[in-house]
A and B are shown apart, each in its own frame.
Chain A
């Protein structure tokens, strides 16, 4: 039994880059998002109070779907190319992260289908774009390990990585449930949760910030070890989160339906373009 390996993974699951780190970064991101998306409710303090109220459990019962989603989010976090991640680099896999995040997201939807303004079609389009952004860069190197993909920043991969990076960032607001169409539990700062499961899924969203944004920095920025590497990783992750919040804030101020149009009419064709770029890249390399 590889106890050492198991220990490393448990540490990654529960501490870094798992549960503890996810909670800390997620809480900060939730407060920031709530403040940015609903500024009329007052300043940062009010946003923090709102967020904490939304995250407070309504009952002692553990909501099963949310609990399952949390486990999958934790699994995804262990795959990040975060500096000092105890999981050996050879055992990390962006596909495992993607599957975990997709699972977490659709577990949320199995509860939230038809609630509020949630539009599953939009969510599906967003996730399709995101999945392509995660997988297309791995075609040419023939490798799914995040740090290996992040290390490829020059050469004929650049156009593809740019296209996929843009696609990834464009998808983030939807993935992080910052938009009414993608958030059955309502966007951050939407107010008190109505049901125990809703509180659970607010927690899930808080925990999703690091895996999604961290995966972005893992795939599109070269990893570096040591404190500087940690700083770079956190900056890239926070930057991705900030871009996501900015896009979401911009979209929520626009007329209803613009999000659907944007993702179905713009993001999906752009995803097709990314596939074309990937095909051209492969053709050029061989």
Chain B
């Protein structure tokens, strides 16, 4: 057995399950959902087992796919953290969402590809598996419904092409595109910009409505939600690996500043869209992009606290991405509590911890960065307001698909709530090691061990305060089950803020489409006329063409 083959185990479990499900399904044995769900949890367990058993990084060197593109897998603290980001929501969704056996198999295979993208040791291997996961998801999305794939596909392929270009450029300049082997000087600003473009497009980190939000426009959520859950973390994985390739920093502080501003903008824009959402679904659609903005800001800070906050935020967002599509669409007061406490992020939820740690990281750096932290806090406030308004919004039915799963939503909500109390454990066991893998972490910069999170700027007594709050939260949780549903308005209440720029992209697109070549020049730009001339093969035309080219090449 080649060394490091155990790395492929989680993906093999999922891939094997997909094949078994398809063969069994073809033979009339409908065991798709339970088998795939079990395989997802098994893959999660095996990932943890391999990581904790190895007590260090493990590598698997495969064959050379292409010049500069060797198939390599690497399990270290970073890939472990991001592997969890992919597997945890996928396991929840595959367990609690209803799928046919064909869809279950495809979903398992997609999860395996996405997992391999986060376990990949080099940019080109990541691009291969990332592209594969995106393709598999496209097939499932289009097989279900055409809607919202018009944005998804170009964004993903654009990001993928940018990543491929970055990979080959890195390989040309340094002779390798393996994250841990790239010389520090090879990661230039230009190459990093390509990686950043891939990350922003792939994870939907844009100030306007990204594909992660548009997935919620689909009549059924079971494919779109999986797409968000498994593809969203990969962009951030690239940004973290860029730190490793750059020797603990990005090529220029301006790049950090630019992405930090972009992160704050993304968070603010998502919050602005959330508070103006016409339906509750439209509000939920902005939750993951909003957290994505926080994560981008945190990563761009480039400090140990920042990167730790970033990893924590992505981990939290990935669980949230599983919770939201599982929420039953009711008007229960308990749902209001979930919208405000879990989605917007109030103590002791992990969504609160992630946002708080990001703002703290900004304040800790000081100067202009702190103002970005304050901007993120304002986005947080807007999300709170949107959460309060969301309970009044009309519920958008889920087409043919039955409403979410109370059990699944309960489990995911429990994980998020408990995550706040266990934040110390998550940070000290998952996030800080991932940070230490890519940049130096001075001792004590993030203290508190498993009980609390202590940074220079602030603290969160995870166990000491979070645990009692968690116990107290049982009271409203029990009370909420008997309470009457809140009255939902027939039409949505007016938004708190009307952003003047929301319709700009559409207007720009319309203007662009309205552009016309002036009549007197139209024949010059008429491809059909040019083709007809080519097809007729007039000797004079070709003679002129040849003469023109002959003159051109001899100038």
Chain A residues engaging chain B, CB cutoff 8 angstroms = 1-2, 5-6, 8-10, 13, 61-65, 67-68, 71-72, 74-75, 78, 87, 90-96, 98-100, 102-103, 105-107, 109-111, 113-114, 120-121, 123-124, 127-128, 131-132, 135-136, 138-140, 142-145, 275, 278-279, 282, 286
Task: Report the nearest B residue to A92, measured CB to CB.
Answer: B459
- The listed residue (B336, B339, B363, B374) touching A111 by CB distance below 8 A is B336
The one of A5, A67, A124, A140 in contact with B385, judged by C-beta atoms closer than 8 angstroms, is: A124
Interface string of B364-379 (1 = CB under 8 A from A): 1111101101100110
A91 contacts across to B, CB distance below 8 A: 452, 454, 459, 461, 464-465
Known A107-B388, A110-B391, A111-B486; contact A282-B347, beta-carbon cutoff 8 A: no
The dominant DSSP class at the A interface is: helix
Given A96-B347, A128-B381, A282-B367, answer yes or no on A114-B493 (Cβ-Cβ < 8 Å).
yes
Residues A6 and B467 in contact, CB atoms below 8 Å apart: yes
Across the interface, name the chain A residue whose C-beta is closest to B348.
A75
| A251–B489 alpha-carbon span in the complex (Å) | 31
Q: Which residues of A contact B337 (CB under 8 A)?
A: 64-65, 68, 107
Residues of chain A contacted by B456 (CB below 8 angstroms): 142-143
A139: nearest residue on chain B (CB-CB)?
B370
> What A residues does B356 contact at CB under 8 A?
93, 95-96, 99
Whether B388 contacts A113 by the Cβ 8 Å rule is: yes
Extra contacts, 7 of them, besides A110-B388, A135-B363 (Cβ < 8 A), are A5-B461, A64-B334, A107-B337, A113-B392, A142-B363, A144-B360, A145-B458
Question: For B459, what are the chain A residues with a Cβ–Cβ distance below 8 Å?
Answer: 90-93, 145
**Min distance, Cβ A75 to any Cβ of chain B, angstroms:** 5
B418 at the interface (CB under 8 A from A): no
A279-B493 contact, Cβ under 8 Å, with A99-B347, A127-B381: no
What are the 10 tightest A-B residue pairs by CB atom distance, in nearest-first order? A103-B346, A64-B480, A144-B458, A67-B476, A110-B388, A5-B464, A106-B388, A109-B388, A139-B370, A64-B476
Residues B381 and A131 in contact, CB atoms below 8 Å apart: yes
* Bound-state Cα–Cα, A110 to B332, Å: 11
Q: Report whether A286 and B367 are in contact in the complex, using a CB–CB cutoff of 8 Å.
A: yes
- Docked-complex contact A95 and B359, CB < 8 angstroms: yes
Cα separation A93 to B455 with both chains bound (whole Å): 11
B363 A68 Cβ-Cβ under 8 A: no
Chain A residues with CB under 8 Å of B344's CB are 103, 106
Q: Is the CB of A67 within 8 A of B475?
A: yes
Q: Give the size of the chain B interface in residues (CB under 8 angstroms).
A: 69
B460 CB-CB contact with A under 8 Å: yes
Q: Is the CB of A136 within 8 A of B451?
A: no
A237 to B20, CA, bound (A): 67
Bound-state CA distance A123–B385 (Å) is 9
In the assembled complex, the CB of A200 is this many whole angstroms from the nearest CB of chain B, namely 10
Interchain CB contact (< 8 A) of B389 among A107, A113, A135, A275: A113
Q: A100-B346, A102-B346 are in contact. Are A63 and B469 (CB under 8 A)?
A: no
Query: Does B392 lie within 8 Å of A68, measured CB to CB?
Result: no
Nearest A residue to B468, CB-CB: A10
Query: How far, in whole Å, are A142 and B361 apart by their CA atoms in the complex?
Result: 9
Pick from A10, A68, A124: contact of B476, CB under 8 Å: A68
Contacts of B348 in A (CB 8 A): 75
What residues of chain B lie closer than 8 Å to A9, measured between beta carbons?
Answer: 461, 464-465, 468
Which partner residue on chain B sits nearest A123 by CB separation?
B385
Cβ of B473 < 8 Å from any Cβ of A? yes
Asked if B483 is an interface residue, CB under 8 A from chain A, the answer is: yes
Report the separation of the CA atoms of residues A130 and B9 in the bound assembly, to the nearest whole angstrom.
52
Give B505-527 as 1s and 0s: 1 = Cβ < 8 Å from A's Cβ atoms.
00000000000000000000000
Q: Are B454 and A90 in contact (CB under 8 A)?
A: yes
User: Which partner residue on chain A sits nearest B477 by CB separation?
Assistant: A64
Chain A hits for B359, CB < 8 A: 95, 135
In the bound complex, do residue A139 and residue B381 qualify as a contact, i.e. CB atoms below 8 Å apart?
no
Contact B473 A71 (CB under 8 A): yes
Residue of B nearest to A144 (CB): B458
Given A92-B459, A110-B339, check contact A142 B493 (CB 8 Å). no
Q: Assess the B472–A71 pair: CB atoms within 8 A.
A: yes
B50 is an interface residue with CB less than 8 A from chain A: no
Query: A65 contacts which of B336, B364, B385 (Cβ < 8 Å)?
Result: B336
Q: Chain B residues with Cβ under 8 A from A279's Cβ? A: 371
Chain A residue contacts of B489, Cβ below 8 A: 114
Q: State A2–B452 Cα separation when bound (angstroms).
A: 10
**Residues in B neighbouring A131, C-beta threshold 8 A:** 377-378, 381
Q: Is the CB of A75 within 8 A of B464?
A: no
**Which residues B443-460 have CB closer than 8 A to chain A?**
451-452, 454, 456-460
Query: How far apart sit A281 and B222, CA to CA, in the bound complex (Å)?
Result: 51
Chain B nearest CB from A229 CB (Å) reads: 22
Residue with the highest number of chain B CB atoms closer than 10 Å, among A78, A99, A275: A99
**Residue in B346, B472, B477 whose beta carbon sits within 8 Å of that of A99 in the complex:** B346
Cβ of B479 < 8 Å from any Cβ of A?
Answer: yes
For the complex, is B340 an interface residue (Cβ under 8 Å from A)? yes
* Chain A nearest CB, measured from B394 CB (Å): 14
A139–B344 CA distance with the chains assembled, in angstroms: 24
The answer to whether A5 and B346 have CB atoms under 8 Å apart is no
Which chain A residues lie closer than 8 Å to B370 at the CB level?
Answer: 138-139, 142, 282
Nearest Cβ distance between residue B268 and chain A, in whole angstroms?
A: 12
Q: Is there contact, CB below 8 Å, between B385 and A120?
A: yes
B residues in contact with A72, CB < 8 Å: 341, 346-347
